[in-house]
Structure 1
Amino acid sequence: MPEPRRLELIERTGLDDGELQCREEVSRALHVPFHEDVISRLQGHGNLIDVRLPDRAVCIRPGETCRLPLPE
């Protein structure tokens, strides 16, 4: 990140040197898993199998993200 932009962000967020160092360490250790060039919600996401959902499942689009109702 260009130095002027970095300094502007530090000033706007009020981050001190200790917090900046901590965030730097976390960012270096962080691993973001990808599956087919898309960020996965969890590691191993690409290895999950499809599951037939009950008719009462609410889907955003057929065949995509679905939500099951909570048991009553």
Structure 2
Amino acid sequence: MKFIKLMFLLFLAAFMLGGLILVTGQIVGVLTLNGALVGGSKDVLSGITFAAATAAGLCAFVLQYSKSPVAEED
């Protein structure tokens, strides 16, 4: 499970960084009235960012169900 946790953290960092760069590029495009920059940043980064977010979600799903059960105390 250490491998899955490591992959989760890497994908999480990748999609957070990708989202930050994507939104920053779009903000700069809006502020400079450059529509090509807004659309271009989406075209270039959205696929990679969404793929990393999906992979992070799948890793989180696996990690959630791979925890050892906790013994109940009465």
**TM-score (normalizing by structure 1):** 0.29
- Could you say which structure has the larger radius of gyration? 1
Relative to total residues, which structure has the larger strand share, 1 or 2?
1
When the two structures are superposed, what TM-score results if normalisation uses the length of structure 2?
0.29
Q: Highest relative contact order (Cα 8 Å, sep 6+), 1 or 2?
A: 2
